[in-house]
Structure 1
Amino acid sequence: MAVARMAVGAASALTVFALSSCSLAWPCEDTTAERGEAEAKVEVENTSGRPMGITAEVVGWRLEPHPQVPDEGDHVHFRLRFDGAESVSSVAVDVCAADKERVALGCRTVYSQEAFGPNGDRTGDIWLDIDHPEHVADVLVIPNDQSHVGQTCEEDLKDGGGEHPPAPAAVGDQL
């Protein structure tokens, strides 16, 4: 009799579980952050759009031949400074050379580890090769942190998902 009660109890529990719309499939959702507004100086924001307490700033730029490949003509040479980045292991932002209409002519993701100055400041010299450097009107930073993309639901249904940064900036993007 006790065995019969246990069987009925187990069957009832399974029925309640099935009827309550619970399933054994993992609920996995991907969300992508919206791209923030590009400027010469930005507050870096996480995938939720919240400021991380870090600024990234283009502190100067010019067109000149790269010293290792001077025959290629002018490249965009800029200095990028991260303030407040020493509190995190990694932060990365997209930096783009743009024309006067703010259309990206060339972009690159720059990690805070690449930016280190002689006095311990987080300023780095970065080079960007673009097809028409004569059209560059400004160098802009996009505020979204690109350092942690994470797995998507498509890649791993169980452990993937969550918030992801926007797609990296590319040539032709309106900034």
Structure 2
Amino acid sequence: MQDPVPKRMQDLKGDVTGFLMEKRKQFEKDVNASLRSLNENLQGILKAEQKSRQELKSVYCERFGSLYQKWLDEVDSTRDQEEYLSFITQQQMKILETAIADHETKLENAKEMCGTFLKKANNLSKHGKTFIGGQQTNVEKEISKVQDRVIMETQDQDVSTVETYLQSLILDRSEETI
């Protein structure tokens, strides 16, 4: 009877070892299947996250790209407007300098004409006393009136020239603002 017990033990040991080996193989298959499933789920989540990020990136690029381009266009436009305004300002300064020089020349010419007229009027006044006699006071009055009129016309002409130029500057400036 001793033979059958060790043989049975050996058979039982072989059955237990085989059973454990089967269980181990089944466990490894289950673990591998679980890992594969987990890996597939993680891959799916990763792909979904990447897709979501790509979509968000696309949306942000679309929105901010157009805003950035508009901003660049506005910067260019502002720079162009600044250059144009600088150019116009320089042109107006040249025109103003020319107008001032012309005005000064006209004023000098008017002063010279008044001086010449006064000299001639004085000469006429001196010579008129001998020729006219009693008419001297009338001639002096007429000379005084003519002198006043010449001075007034010269002043009116100067004021009119300055007003015309200033109005043209104001009109030019208001057209640029529009």
State whether TM-score is above 0.5.
Answer: no
- Normalized per residue, the structure richer in helix is 2
- Normalized per residue, the structure richer in strand is 1
